């Protein structure tokens, strides 16, 4: 285990009105530093690991009690970071936790960087980089399905799968190296068909994991659903109704919405990021034009579209123009204002029509069902047992390993030097080691852990 010279401290709970706050201290001097501001000190000195003790914090100068607290004491290596740790449970608010942090610093601790407790946990070999990323997914989980993937990966699901693949790689490497050591020439002496089969199998396994990123992104970050249509068809009303919040401004004036609005909603465990935006029309106003450009851009980058038409008006050329833009993407055709007298007769667009009234909140259950169907069609291979990667970094490392394997296959095909093949296999293994964090750099760690909060 690596030994860090500095003892760090950080507030792990949100600052503000609340019943309790937790201040974490970790490092070789954690117990002695807390001991300087805690009474009775003897109790802390004698405390075993995994124990809770009761007492008072005192500001060191005047020996006046600052707060009545509980200390959670953990001893190295059985703690979150692997070091000696004390978690101080104080009363909540702003003043007490900040004051305690100041006292800890006055007595020799340093304020932790973002994610530094978890970084130490990783550096002390108690967690892989994949699990650290999963932890972030747990903290940020939006829905039950996001949490499920995050929890499974935190328990090591993705990591275990990568370790399995790494074993397969080592098998291949042993095969090549044996041939390199004892082979009479540089030309492969063993059955290349077997080797090719093994490499291709590995490629498929890795492809399945890298393809799971699309699913991971949708289930962890959210399915991006853009609401598009002419001005005044009720997009903002629908946005508010689905979100069950009065978020977007609604008026009878066409062209009300200009900026992009975003809201996240949990639809039966699926996180959906809804985007409300400007209505599409040829507009003379400079501001509205910018809004329309942004809307079209958002529609292009979304995972799916709610194409809204007004059931109380006839379908016109403008609706048809919008349909041309969106029909290449997964879309749901929503006929809003179905509480009014219907003027739509024949609908010249493909697909099922979902009749809703954003104003009267009718048809929304049906719409939610169709939204779920669209999400499930976008990630057809999803089951709760699936192995899923969830970050761009993970996908990139796996893709690098696949590329090295493709390079290896080319080398075999062209009957080139065995050393070159061994090199490609090593490259692939290194990509997987970077993925799990066995090989890493300060830059990468900074990038990952800076996404955490201070006390994590």
Ligand X SMILES: Nc1nc2c(ncn2[C@@H]2O[C@H](COP(=O)(O)OP(=O)(O)OP(=O)(O)O)[C@@H](O)[C@H]2O)c(=O)[nH]1
Which entry of ligand X, Mg ion, none binds 379, CB below 5 to 8 A by partner kind? Answer: none
CB of 132 to ligand X, least distance (A): 42
Token couple for 198: 């093994």
Task: Please give the residue whose beta carbon sits closest to ligand X in the complex.
Answer: 279
Nearest residue to 282 (alpha-carbon basis) of 327, 238, 321, 326: 321
Tokens of 367: 């719409």
Question: How many other C-beta atoms lie within 10 A of the C-beta of residue 293?
Answer: 11
Residue 76 contact partner, candidates ligand X, Mg ion, none, CB within 5 to 8 A by sort of partner: none
305 binds ligand X (CB under 6 A): no
Which one among 252, 365, 414, 442 touches ligand X, defined by CB under 6 A?
Answer: 252
- Which among ligand X, Mg ion, none contacts residue 359 (Cβ within 5 to 8 A by kind)? ligand X
Within 129-158, the residues that bind ligand X by CB under 6 A are none
Asked if residues 351 and 331 have their Cβ atoms less than 8 Å apart, the reply is: yes
Binding residue for ligand X, selected from 157, 217, 235, 395, defined by CB under 6 A: 235
In the three-class reduction of DSSP (H, G, I as helix; E, B as strand; rest coil), residue 328 is classed as coil
Structure tokens at 241: 């109704």
Closest separation in Å from C-beta 261 to Mg ion: 8
Q: Could you tell me where the DSSP H helices lie in 141-269?
A: 144-154, 157-182, 192-216, 235-243
Site for ligand X in 66-105 (CB under 6 A): none
Binding characters for ligand X, 345-384, by CB under 6 A (x = yes): ------------xxx-------------------------
Find out whether 448 and 132 touch, Cβ atoms under 8 Å: yes
Among 102, 251, 285, 297, binds ligand X (CB under 6 A): 251
Asked whether position 336 contacts Mg ion by CB under 5 A, the answer is no
415 binds ligand X (CB under 6 A): no
Work out how close the CB of 375 gets to ligand X at its nearest, in angstroms, rounded to a whole number.
23
b/e 152-172 (16+ beta carbons within 10 angstroms → b): bbbebbbbebbeebbeebeeb
Between 276 and 295, how does the x/- string for binding to ligand X read (CB under 6 A)?
Answer: --xx----------------
CA distances from 370 to 304, 381, 391, 450, 452 (A): 12, 18, 27, 38, 35
Q: Which stretch binds Mg ion (CB under 5 A): 156-164, 199-207, 211-219, 255-263?
A: 255-263
Decide if residue 236 touches Mg ion (CB under 5 A).
yes
Closest of 398, 225, 426 to residue 418, by C-alpha: 426
**Beta carbon of residue 240, minimum distance to ligand X (angstroms, whole number):** 8
Give yes or no for a contact between 330 and 357, defined as CB atoms under 8 angstroms apart. Answer: no
Would you count residue 339 as binding ligand X (CB under 6 A)? yes
Residue 100 backbone dihedrals phi, psi, to 5 degrees: -60, -45
Taking the least distance from each CB to Mg ion, the nearer of 236 and 302 is: 236
- DSSP character for 48? P
401 makes contact, choosing from ligand X, Mg ion, none, with CB < 5 to 8 Å by partner type, with none
- Cβ 13 vs Cβ 20: under 8 Å: yes
Query: Which residues contact ligand X by CB under 6 A?
Result: 231-237, 250-252, 254-257, 278-279, 336-337, 339-340, 357-359
Footprint of Mg ion on this chain (CB under 5 A)? 235-236, 256-257
């Amino acid at each position: 285990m690596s030994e860090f010279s500095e003892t760090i401290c950080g507030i792990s709970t949100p600052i503000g009105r609340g019943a309790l706050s937790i201040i974490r201290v970790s490092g070789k001097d954690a117990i002695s530093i807390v001991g300087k501001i805690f009474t009775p000190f003897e109790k802390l000195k004698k405390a075993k690991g995994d124990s809770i003790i009761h007492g008072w914090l005192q500001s060191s100068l005047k020996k006046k009690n600052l707060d009545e607290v509980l200390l959670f004491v953990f001893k190295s290596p059985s703690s979150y970071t692997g070091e000696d740790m004390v978690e101080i449970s104080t009363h909540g608010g702003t003043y007490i936790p900040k004051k305690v942090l100041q006292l800890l610093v006055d007595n020799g601790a340093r304020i932790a960087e973002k994610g530094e407790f978890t970084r130490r946990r990783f550096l002390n070999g108690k967690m892989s980089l994949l699990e650290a990323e999963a932890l972030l997914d747990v903290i940020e989980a939006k829905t039950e399905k996001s949490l499920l993937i995050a929890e499974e990966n935190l328990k090591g699901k993705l990591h275990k799968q990568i370790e399995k693949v790494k074993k397969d790689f080592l098998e291949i490497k042993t095969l090549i190296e044996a041939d390199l050591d004892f082979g009479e020439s540089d030309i492969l002496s063993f059955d290349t068909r077997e080797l090719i089969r093994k490499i291709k199998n590995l490629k498929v396994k890795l492809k399945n994991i890298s393809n799971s990123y699309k699913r991971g992104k949708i289930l962890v970050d959210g399915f991006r659903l853009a609401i598009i249509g002419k001005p005044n068809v009720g997009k903002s009303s629908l946005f508010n109704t689905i979100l069950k919040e009065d978020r977007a401004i609604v008026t009878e004036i066409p062209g009300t919405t200009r900026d992009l609005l975003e809201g996240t909603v949990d639809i039966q465990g699926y996180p959906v990021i809804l985007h409300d935006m400007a209505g599409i029309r040829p507009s003379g106003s400079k501001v509205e034009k910018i809004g329309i450009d942004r809307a079209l851009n958002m529609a292009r980058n979304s995972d799916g579209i709610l194409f809204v038409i007004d059931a109380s008006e006839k379908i016109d050329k403008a609706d048809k123009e919008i349909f041309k833009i969106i029909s290449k993407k997964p879309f749901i055709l929503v006929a809003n204002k179905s509480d009014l007298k219907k003027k739509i007769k024949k609908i010249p667009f493909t697909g099922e029509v979902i009749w809703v009234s954003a104003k009267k909140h009718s048809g929304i259950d049906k719409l939610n069902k169709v939204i779920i169907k669209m999400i499930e069609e976008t990630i057809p291979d999803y089951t709760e047992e699936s192995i899923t990667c969830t970050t761009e970094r993970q996908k990139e490392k796996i893709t690098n390993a696949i590329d090295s394997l493709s390079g290896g296959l080319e080398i075999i095909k062209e009957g080139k030097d065995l050393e070159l093949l061994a090199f490609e296999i090593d490259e692939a293994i290194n990509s997987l080691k970077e993925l799990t964090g066995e090989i890493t750099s300060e830059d990468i760690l900074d990038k990952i852990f800076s996404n955490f909060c201070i006390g994590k």
